[in-house]
Amino acid sequence: MSTPKKLLLFIGAPLVLLILVFFVIFPGLPAYAMVKLKYDHIDDTSEAFELQTVPADFKAISTKGLAMRVPERYELSETGSALHNEEGKTVLAILGTALYNADLSGYTEGYDPWENYRYGEKEYRSYFRSIGRDYIDPTGPDNQFLWYVRDEVKAKDCLKLRGDDLRVFMEIADSKDISYGMEDTWDIDGEGFAAVAARGKDETVKVGDYWTVTLYPDSAGGKNYLIIIRNIPDDTAKQIISSIKLDK
């Protein structure tokens, strides 16, 4: 064997071995590269919502278990589920509270909470074991999985994953990227609740600019309030959001 070939073999063989060992230790490295290229928001986390000073001339209202302050000219609907401006347009709506204390047993029989997931409980349990974290039920009532996806999932998590564990991670990454791609979001740590404030930016939603607040009371078993704000300047929307509390 010629000297150049011997030299090439001498250098190349350890290099190939090193690469193989590297891929054994980090089987998800190709997936990591793909995730970084495919998902713009995979490493995003939400910042805290910057609370605004609420103008003194805003009036206090209480409805559907919530309290807030709003401009004097806004009127509460008869049902208490909406606010209207002086032109009669809806500027704020509160959804989801009709489910509180409701008996849903007649509607949930035969319902499979996993039907919208590509993988099931077995695969998700395996995934959490592989990343060294306690299992979080994606279908559970306590919103832990929501906060996990929003605040913890990062591209690096897939480096040591393979098989179904890696495929579950990709499903989670896909969900996170879609969520962050549609809205700018901020976290709110309120008294007795956690909330996510979002400003819609998805051009496929043909409703104009909007804000939402998804509020999760600490003692409500995972149920939530969804507050939708439209036809209001951003500054006013932020002031209203800053005033939202649970009505005690």
Question: Dihedrals φ, ψ of 72, to 5°?
Answer: -55, -35
Residue 219 falls inside a structural domain: yes
Q: What is the C-alpha to C-alpha distance for residues 168 and 191, in angstroms, rounded to an integer?
A: 34
Question: What's residue 130's pLDDT?
Answer: 94
Q: Does the residue 192 lie in any domain? A: yes
> Rounded to an integer, what is the distance from CA 85 to the centroid of its chain?
30
Domain ranges, residue 225: 53-103+182-246
Provide the pLDDT for residue 98.
Answer: 44
What pLDDT was estimated at residue 182? 82
Does a structural domain hold residue 177? no
In a domain, 31, yes or no: no
Q: How many domains does the chain have?
A: 1
Question: Is 123 within a domain?
Answer: no
Give the pLDDT confidence score for residue 111 in this predicted structure: 74
pLDDT at 208: 64
Could you read off the pLDDT tens digit of each residue along the chain, which spans 248 residues?
A: 555 544 444 454 454 444 444 444 456 678 888 889 999 999 998 899 999 999 999 999 999 889 999 999 999 998 889 999 999 999 999 986 544 444 545 555 677 889 889 999 999 999 999 999 999 999 887 778 888 998 899 999 988 898 999 999 999 999 999 888 888 889 999 999 999 999 986 554 555 678 999 998 887 666 789 999 988 999 999 999 999 999 87
The answer to whether residue 188 sits within a structural domain is yes
**228 in a domain, yes or no?**
yes
Please report whether residue 37 resides in a domain: no
pTM above 0.95, yes or no: no
